[in-house]
Amino acid sequence: MKKLPYFDYLLASLNENNDLEKSFGRHVHWGYWETPKLATLSVDDFAQAAENLSQLVFNAADVKDGQSVLDVGCGFGGTIASLNETHRGLRLVGLNIDERQLERARQQVEAIENNTVEFQQGDACALPFADNSFDVVLAVECIFHFPSREKFFNEAFRVLKPGGYLALSDFVLSSLLPSRSLGKVNNGFFGDCDIGYTKEKYYALAKESNFSLCVDKDITKNTLPTYNYLRSMFIKKDQNKSRPSSPMTAVLSTLAIEVVSRLNLLKYYVFSFQKPR
């Protein structure tokens, strides 16, 4: 497994930086603000926005009490934690390629409200689960790291029960750009990412893998305050040291994504798909 530099940084720094812990110790994804101009960009405001994004994705999958939910690329278990706090009787399974993240997830999430919680190591493109075993599969802001969106869709279809939902959030390339203008990139701090997928490619992928499309929501403008927040974090100094707390690769890598997003060339979408009954 190729390690992702931003997770190496988070795993090394979370315990010594309280703001970082509150911002990225549970969810490791962008924020969602229903009314972006009301974003205050405090640490609590960002943490709530990150929570909102997880909820938006699992609501797109219509999660109901008593169901089985698989969260693929679950990071530190933030989406599983959120489902655990908002639902009852769920069977919650978090899967991640990186065992170090799962260790933290296991320490952070304890099942309540008749839910069960389990974290398992594995690859999104070779899911270690039986056919027809989940009502819902989620992939929050992680599919661009997977070896292949096509293989992941086939695997999600296989493990879903008939009528089950796959919901995800992803950076989506503007259809105005030639499809080869962005694609597999190594974005320094964020590691290997494939950001060459357009909305149209998602529609085609859904069709090829026999899913029907239920939700495709462009939330780019609701996520943009994330960049202002990250910039304010980058400028902050470590409490005991006079140097900025973030590595320069983080600043440059985030700036690259911000520029293409503000130019509307890279969008942020929530999608959901249903397996036929």
Ligand X SMILES: C[S@@+](CC[C@H](N)C(=O)[O-])C[C@H]1O[C@@H](n2cnc3c(N)ncnc32)[C@H](O)[C@@H]1O
Return d(Cα 137, Cα 274) in angstroms, integer: 10
**105 lies in the binding site for ligand X (CB under 6 A):** no
**97 lies in the binding site for ligand X (CB under 6 A):** yes
**92 lies in the binding site for ligand X (CB under 6 A):** no
**27 lies in the binding site for ligand X (CB under 6 A):** yes
Q: Which two tokens stand for residue 268?
A: 């942020």
Q: Which of 5, 73, 164, 196 binds ligand X (CB under 6 A)?
A: 73
**123 lies in the binding site for ligand X (CB under 6 A):** yes
Of 29 and 87, CB closest to ligand X: 29
Q: Which of 109, 142, 167, 230 binds ligand X (CB under 6 A)?
A: 142
**51 lies in the binding site for ligand X (CB under 6 A):** no
Q: Residues binding ligand X: what is the number (CB under 6 A)?
A: 22
CB 172 within 8 A of CB 266: yes
Q: Is 258 a catalytic residue?
A: no
Q: How far is the CB of 76 from ligand X (least distance, A)?
A: 6
Find the catalytic residue in 21, 118, 141, 155: 141
| Residues near ligand X (CB under 6 A) | 4, 27-29, 72-75, 78-79, 96-98, 101, 123-124, 140-142, 145-147
